[in-house]
Structure 1
Amino acid sequence: MRIHFIAIGGSAMHNLALALHDKGYVITGSDDVIYEPSKTRLREQGLLPSEFGWFPEKLSTDMDAVILGMHAREDNPELLRAQQLGLKIYSYPEFLYEQSRHKTRVVIGGSHGKTTITSMILHVLKYHDREVDYMVGAQLEGFNRMVHLTEENDFIVLEGDEYLSSPIDRRPKFHLYQPNIALLSGIAWDHMNVFPTYENYREQFQIFVDGIVQGGSITYNEEDTAVVEVVEKTPNQIRKFPYRTPEYNIENGQTFLETGEGPMPVEVFGRHNLSNLAGAKWICQQMGIDEDDFYQAISTFTGASKRLEKIGETSSSVAFKDFAHSPSKVAATTMAVREQYPDKRLVACLELHTYSSLNEAFLSQYRGTLDAADIAAVFYSPESVAIKKLSPLSASQIQDAFQNEKLEVFTDPGQFKTFLYELNKNNGVFLFMSSGNYGGLDLRAFIDHLG
């Protein structure tokens, strides 16, 4: 098959291009900018465009399909040419469904935890040499890439993102997968730019559950009331498997999971991650992994990239980086670190970087999310607010929203760096939560400073 990618450089798009190239497909693509590591990975496989930009003349009638990335716009010249030629145009999730139409589709959905749960499942399956196709939203240790597609594997495990499919397909990605086996970890309002109200956002998860293949199953977090309401409301004839956070205890900074064979040490920590583990166990059991084999494998799981990832440790201090940016994730991550290190001084730093987090109407959702920290700091860039065409924010607005008297607010990268370096570095745990980089903060240099 001949496949052309419009916006081939994206994190998800270039991984799909590489996976299809491995299958023997003829792949071409374009983009106006491609960053690392996508650039090098595409170049190594001979898939990097010879020059950046959009070139309608690349499109021809002998192409079998065009895959359209979110980075492209509706008036993209290559998209317009593909439409003119009558070529079949797929969104990323639409094409993944086509590739897995005859497989058992396992889809992990939820506002939070889906990358970690998907990663746990894939780790367990790999540990036991079970071959499956997959798509996950993070680079995993022991896996070459984020997408793997074959003709022969029976299962495909898909991380079910609720964000939009493409510039011309405004449906959430996870609506397109039609799962046979599904999981729903939690519902907490996010993506305000796409789902302006909580009710509208929650409705997307109802559609997801209602779209499970008849006779399939939903594994769901029974500790989340919104999830329970969605599952109970569905008219779909499916099996329902509830899960909840397992019993655990912490001794000297080590988390032990209570199992039928006694306490078992695990590398991940925090109630939210142990809840994720419980959900992953149910899914693995439905895929043929028994409980004992699951526990044996999961004890070696160290976490997904950028999800409570330990980035440095000294004799007295430790530092973590986490992708958390939505209110529920910020609160869960901060509390997890507090619980794991009760005798250390917790410094929690959050960068407001997304459209929702920088929106004045959404800020109140962050109330209390950093309360578990001894020292709390928020960084944001006024330039990012302007680029997103949002109303300017003030430090007082952010402090009012968080309702945290200890909160320090920074907009200048230099001042934020000075604040960090002047803190007592002994007996501390430093938590950096962001999908950005705090205006260019060199975290490696900060780790060296701690040493």
Structure 2
Amino acid sequence: MTDFSEITAYSQHKTRVLIYSSYPKTAELVLHVLDFFGKKTDYILANGTSKTTDCDFVILETSDHQKATDFKANIALISDEMNSENLSLILKNITAGGVLVYPENKEETVSEAENYFRKLSFSDAEFKTEGEKILINTEMGEIPLGSSDANLVKNINGIKLLCQQFGIMEEDFYEAMMSFE
């Protein structure tokens, strides 16, 4: 499914989940966690990989502002590195009653949104590096991240909040996160 009009038509009657990010590891971790717990979802990734079955949820990963806007997400994760200038149109097109997960450094832009949706901000994770390992500081103690990707660490709290929208709670999220590479 490469033509965006096909993606729009396909996702019309599904719960549309947007991952607005330029880092592929963000979507990869989300899909890993969902798969770890047997949560079925369709997805269309920026690298052209897709899975389309008959699931109720479809995830679109893109860094393309126009695609993110036209997708009209029910649930959206905006990753830390994305430019605030492009967010207002995306926010305008989030489905009323939807959910936005966003970095707290984008609070000013998000607060200007006129339509109604739930707003969940996230902060950078506290972490430390030991050799090649990254240890995320949590209420449960230090938990190793299976990846050493620094960009993933910046968005880990947002990814956790997004996974909670699928019913995966914090402790379970960290369990799956440890096996991600």
TM over 0.5: yes
Deviations 1:411-442 (CA, angstroms, capped at 9, x unpaired) = xxxxxxxxxxxxxxxxxxxxxxxxxxxxxxxx
Matching of residue 278 in structure 1 with residue 157 in structure 2? yes
Equivalent positions of 1:293-312 (< 5 A) are 293-302=172-181
Equivalent positions of 1:1-400 (< 5 A) are 16=1, 92-110=3-21, 112-113=22-23, 115-138=24-47, 146-151=49-54, 153-162=55-64, 172-186=66-80, 202=85, 204-222=86-104, 224=105, 227-269=106-148, 271-302=150-181
Rounded to whole Å, the distance in 2 between the matches of 1:208 and 1:242 is 16
Shift of residue 208 of structure 1? Answer: 0.5
**C-alpha RMSD of the superposition:** 2.0
Rounded to whole Å, the distance in 2 between the matches of 1:160 and 1:213 is 18
Shift of residue 188 of structure 1? Answer: 5.3
Shift of residue 232 of structure 1? Answer: 1.1
Rounded to whole Å, the distance in 1 between the matches of 2:156 and 2:112 is 25
Letter in 2 for 1:146: T
Rounded to whole Å, the distance in 1 between the matches of 2:162 and 2:152 is 15
Distance 1:244 1:184, change over 3 A: same
**Count of residues paired in the alignment:** 181
Rounded to whole Å, the distance in 1 between the matches of 2:139 and 2:80 is 27
Rounded to whole Å, the distance in 1 between the matches of 2:108 and 2:81 is 11
Shift of residue 231 of structure 1? Answer: 0.6
Rounded to whole Å, the distance in 1 between the matches of 2:53 and 2:149 is 35
SS of the counterpart of 1:229? helix
Rounded to whole Å, the distance in 2 between the matches of 1:188 and 1:124 is 23
Distance 1:161 1:254, change over 3 A: closer
TM-score of the two chains, using structure 1 as the length reference = 0.38
Rounded to whole Å, the distance in 2 between the matches of 1:296 and 1:121 is 13
Rounded to whole Å, the distance in 1 between the matches of 2:52 and 2:16 is 12
Shift of residue 270 of structure 1? Answer: 5.2
Asked if the contact 1:116/1:276 (under 8 Å) is kept, the reply is no
SS of the counterpart of 2:148? coil
SS of the counterpart of 1:157? strand
Shift of residue 207 of structure 1? Answer: 0.3
Deviations 1:80-119 (CA, angstroms, capped at 9, x unpaired) = xxxxxxxxxxxx2221121111111110114x43x22211
Shift of residue 244 of structure 1? Answer: 1.2
Letter in 2 for 1:121: V
**Percent identity of paired positions between Structure 1 and Structure 2:** 29
Letter in 2 for 1:130: K
Asked if the contact 1:93/1:176 (under 8 Å) is kept, the reply is no
Deviations 1:31-60 (CA, angstroms, capped at 9, x unpaired) = xxxxxxxxxxxxxxxxxxxxxxxxxxxxxx
Shift of residue 260 of structure 1? Answer: 2.4
Rounded to whole Å, the distance in 1 between the matches of 2:92 and 2:151 is 25
Which of the pair has more CA radius of gyration?
Answer: 1
Indicate the residue corresponding to 1:423 in structure 2.
none
Asked if the contact 1:93/1:174 (under 8 Å) is kept, the reply is no
Shift of residue 137 of structure 1? Answer: 2.1
Deviations 1:300-336 (CA, angstroms, capped at 9, x unpaired) = 111xxxxxxxxxxxxxxxxxxxxxxxxxxxxxxxxxx
Shift of residue 242 of structure 1? Answer: 0.4
Asked if the contact 1:218/1:239 (under 8 Å) is kept, the reply is yes
Shift of residue 266 of structure 1? Answer: 1.3
